[in-house]
Structure 1
Amino acid sequence: MPLALDLQHDLDANTTSRLIAELEELRTHLGVEGWVINGVSWGSTLAIAYAQAHPERVRGVVAMAVTTTSRWEVDWITEIVGALYPEEWELFVQHAEQAGLGYQRGKERLVEAYRRLMRHPDPAVREAASLAWARWEDAHIAIGAGGFRRDPAWDDRAFRQNFAILVTHYWANDGFCDPPLLDRMQRLAGIPAVLIHGRLDVSGPLRTAWQAHRRWSGSRLVVDEGEGHGGSAMVNAWRQANDDMASRLLAATETS
């Protein structure tokens, strides 16, 4: 499949349900009866969505920096959290206003404006929008990460543009999760899960992980008080959660 920035890529067909179907194809190809699903950040949205679609194939879930890509979460990360970074958010929104596509703050979702910019036929427009998006990405994860640091991964133009195209595509469509994942957590009843989240995660507040935990019988919530959207302590908790899942599954196999 061509990359998202390739004009031959059918972006409209790139949806969460398509990704879930591809995971099922992979599971079938590998001959796996059931598995433990892992996901971090957006990956946790996909992990939860897959588990809801195929609960009979999921033996457990480990999710870190938990998201469900709800409209509230997307509006938070693109607009509301600008209250904490007003100078950076002003640059972010001004770029959309000055790009010539008719965006007006308060009258349209900012993520929708950037979605249109990243699908603009002019490569210069897409490049400028991807740079503005990347700067905002670095800004909103600064708390809990030791301050603003530019991610060197953005130096790769193809990576940066693919990232911005796909993020705005999925976020503008609420992750293609309809109904929202939090409204169908009953599908996961009885599936063990460990949800790991940082208290200082400003870009993805703990609220989502808390709500998922409250609605997911069999889940355990691990909150790291000193980290944001990831970090070494959270990685250690993720590793331990997977070890515990493996031990539990092994014990169940030996006693069956």
Structure 2
Amino acid sequence: MSRTGGKTFADVVYPCIPPRETGMLKVTDIHTLYWEVSGLATGEPVVVLHGGPGGGTDPDYRRYFNPEKYNIVMLDQRGCGKSTPHAELQDNNTQALVGDIETLRKHLEIEKWFVFGGSWGSTLSLIYAIHHPDRVKALILRGIFMCRRSELLWFYQVTFCINTDNVNFGQSHPLWVTTNPVLEVSILLRNSSLTGKSCICKILICFCSSSVRESAAREWCLWEMSTSKLIPDTKYLDKADNLEFAAAFSRIECHYFVNHIFVEEGFILKKAQILKDIPIFIVQGRYDVVCPMKSAWELHTALPHSKLTVVADAGHSMGEVGIAEKLVEVTDQLA
């Protein structure tokens, strides 16, 4: 459990640092990935896997690691951030992202590394570790998301229905009540097909006018940003107004979720025993409505050697003080 006692985010993380080196790595004829390294070149290597999918990296992600002890590797996954082409869906799937992580590891000549990820980043971290357990020194995870049908329907149906019953998650207008784009996602997930003329998923994935797609992307992004923190944060909500970010984030998320992230249902729990010899640290906000604690508990139960820390006064975001504090405690311990 955690009580932050008036601390701020800046109080519990390391100071801002610039990247030591950046690059663009061509992984297919279509996709080129942005990568960067920060901190100590001879330090403990750690790869940071961002959320979304499609969220891209953020300079604050470097701040969870002591820059005098860690060699911090970050990359923008296919189609997002500084990777090119922007918001591209072709050849963009979970297996490809796992391959990209390995390609980057070899490119940087790293033998083994810590893997750090939250939300979708936790999903990708677990799947990467299942495929390459010999390359993972430890998993540092936050906001466990295993992308099962029940988890997707929770966020795109149950929380939406709660929101329409006047339990507001930060939305400042009634758009979700009047147009029901999130409810349409739940219908799509049930039917596993792109149906409905106004379906936001169809708008995001298929070709249509740029203004219509931008509007759909903004609303999809706004829903997630409004639910990410226990206390609504205008800086998060403002991300939806960054149309370049919203386009990649919303379109790529939609692409992955309607395709059930390109793996069989329950893949992570079915393969969990492959991870039995890897140290695993899980930090979970008690009031996380994006990735509810049930999933973290189920993963911990399947892997009882894992250490689960529940932050009593936090929601989903790694930017929440209690979550950030516990993540830094883990990285300091491992360093």
Give the partner amino acid of 1:44. S
1:134 to 201, 221, 235: 221
**What is the aligned partner in structure 1 of residue 189 from structure 2?**
109
- Answer 1 or 2: which has greater helix percent: 1
> How far did 1:156 drift?
1.7
- Match of 2:277, SS state, is coil
State the 1:226 CA deviation: 0.6
1:253 match: none
Offset of residue 105 of structure 1: 8.3
* One-letter code aligned to 1:211: E
Aligned CA distance change for structure 1 residues 94 and 182 (closer, same or farther; 3 Å): farther
Q: Give distance in 2, aligned partners of 1:150 and 1:61.
A: 26
Correspondence 1:28 to 2:117: no
Which residue of structure 2 lines up, in the alignment, with residue 242 of structure 1?
Answer: 331
**What residue in structure 2 maps to residue 190 of structure 1?**
277
1:108–1:163 distance in 2 versus 1, CA, 3 Å: closer
Mapped to 2, the partners of 1:29 and 1:65 lie a distance apart of 29
Number of matched residues? 240
Give the secondary-structure state (helix, strand or coil) at the position aligned to 2:206: coil
Q: For structure 1, which runs of at least 5 residues remain unmatched after alignment?
A: 98-102, 247-256
**1:191-222 C-alpha deviation (Å, 9 max, x unpaired):** 11100000011121000111111111421100
- Structure 2 residue corresponding to 1:166, chosen from 225, 234, 252: 252
State TM-score, norm by structure 2.
0.64
TM-score when normalising by structure 1: 0.82
Distance in structure 2 (CA, Å) of the matches to 1:187 and 1:90: 46
Q: CA separation in 2, counterparts of 1:106 and 1:32?
A: 41
Residue 223 of structure 1 aligns to a residue whose secondary structure is: strand
Change beyond 3 A, Cα 1:23–1:80:
same
Pick one of 244, 247, 264 that aligns with 1:178.
Answer: 264
1:134, distance to aligned residue in structure 2 (A): 2.3
1:213 counterpart residue number: 300
Q: Which has the higher strand share?
A: 2
Whether the aligned pair in 1 keeps the contact of 2:188 and 2:258 (CA below 8 Å) is no
> Residues of 1 paired with 2:225 and 2:163: CA distance?
11
- Report the Cα distance in structure 2 between the residues aligned to 1:243 and 1:137, rounded to whole angstroms: 30
User: Are the equivalent residues in 2 in contact too, given 1:63–1:195 (CA < 8 A)?
Assistant: yes
Instruction: Report the alpha carbon displacement of residue 47 of structure 1 after superposing the two structures with TM.
Output: 0.5
